[in-house]
Amino acid sequence: MADDLQRVESALLGAVRSDDAFLTEIASHLITAGGKRVRPGFCIAAAATALSDDGAASEEAVIGGVAVELVHLGSLYHDDVMDEAAVRRNVDSVNARWGNLNAILAGDFLLARASELAAGLGVEVAGLLAATIGRLCEGQILELRRAFDVDRSVEDYYRSIDGKTASLLASSCRIGGIVADVPAAHVEALATFGHSYGMAFQLVDDVLDLVATEEQLGKPAGHDLEEGVYTLPVLYTLAGAHGPELRDLLGGPVDEAARDKAIDMVRDSDGIDLTIAGAREFADRARDALCTLPDSPGTTGLAAAADYLVTSVEAAAA
């Protein structure tokens, strides 16, 4: 897997090369900054569920991984413009360094290159990736519409993260299955794994925003509250004993002191524990989806990723 991910790195940098050196520089910025590469890792691991040994990934699985990471990157470029974020992956955000206009165009460029790669993998993958970009936009616009809404429902939250996060993780796994040419039921199991994992992943991300340090996150903590994005731990706290007090603090822009007070209230409530329990449930569902698949290093790797996700957030919140 390490060698496969190294191939992803070279292919990512190759994919964003343009005749315009300035565009190449901006489009490469967050690639060289790092990132966990969960989506390409899942595409490759999903394709590897068709193999009995841990041989090298096929070229198609690597290209699929590059395409999904480019969509993820494009969404980060646009997300950082929307949030006016200054830092991402521990470096200046693209918008902070080069301004919003360049960040939007470079994000579009990443999506264009992702689409080109997906087209090379066939009509099904190209259509799937295009539909997934649409799902990301749907999830994000729903979140935007609920900004600063203290009455945001839990159902509404789940609908938003389904689109903005779980859809791309599901598609990453689905593409791995498609390019490995596994039977339809196998592809569905992989997509179900990716979707459930993706739901758990966003719950964990939302807990970390409230409990982790800026260094661990690679961006400032408590950012969601400032943006008026009331995530599951906050919604649970709003519905609990401290709800009325928290409601008085939120509902509009907060200064640093109010933000920190709100974070303390969420940490003192059972909102974090309930959200981690929710993440555990989705991670279990993800693992269950793998039950029907043949034993393989790919299947073992995906199962281990689901376990690790929950263990890591439990440790961070302890």
Considering the complex, what minimum distance in angstroms separates the CB of residue 198 from ligand GRG?
8
Assess 75 for contact with ligand GRG (CB under 6 A).
yes
Assess 164 for contact with ligand GRG (CB under 6 A).
yes
88 forms bridges with which residues in the sheet?
A: 91
In angstroms, rounded to a whole number, what is the distance separating the alpha carbons of residues 151 and 292?
40
Assess 140 for contact with ligand GRG (CB under 6 A).
yes
Given candidates 11, 16, 62, 133, which one binds ligand GRG under the rule CB under 6 A?
133
Considering the complex, what minimum distance in angstroms separates the CB of residue 34 from ligand GRG?
7
Considering the complex, what minimum distance in angstroms separates the CB of residue 159 from ligand GRG?
14
Assess 9 for contact with ligand GRG (CB under 6 A).
no
Assess 76 for contact with ligand GRG (CB under 6 A).
yes
> What are the backbone dihedrals phi and psi of residue 152, each rounded to the nearest 5 degrees, phi first?
-55, 135
**183: helix, coil or strand?**
coil
In angstroms, rounded to a whole number, what is the distance separating the alpha carbons of residues 303 and 291?
10
Structure tokens, 99: 């301004």
At 87, which helix (H) or strand (E)? strand 87-88
Given candidates 11, 28, 65, 78, which one binds ligand GRG under the rule CB under 6 A?
78
DSSP state of 239: T
Hey, which residues between 86 and 105 contact ligand GRG (CB under 6 A)?
89
In angstroms, rounded to a whole number, what is the distance separating the alpha carbons of residues 69 and 174?
14
Assess 205 for contact with ligand GRG (CB under 6 A).
yes
Tokens 């967050």 locate to: 30
Structure tokens, 42: 């899942």
Structure tokens, 264: 């303390």
In angstroms, rounded to a whole number, what is the distance separating the alpha carbons of residues 230 and 131?
26
Considering the complex, what minimum distance in angstroms separates the CB of residue 139 from ligand GRG?
7
Assess 137 for contact with ligand GRG (CB under 6 A).
yes
The number of residues making up the chain comes to 318
Choose the stretch contacting ligand GRG; rule: CB under 6 A; options: 1-9, 133-141, 221-229, 305-313: 133-141
Hey, which residues between 32 and 51 contact ligand GRG (CB under 6 A)?
35-36, 38
Residue ranges in contact with ligand GRG by CB under 6 A: 35-36, 38, 71-72, 74-76, 78-79, 89, 107, 111, 133, 136-137, 140, 164-165, 202, 205
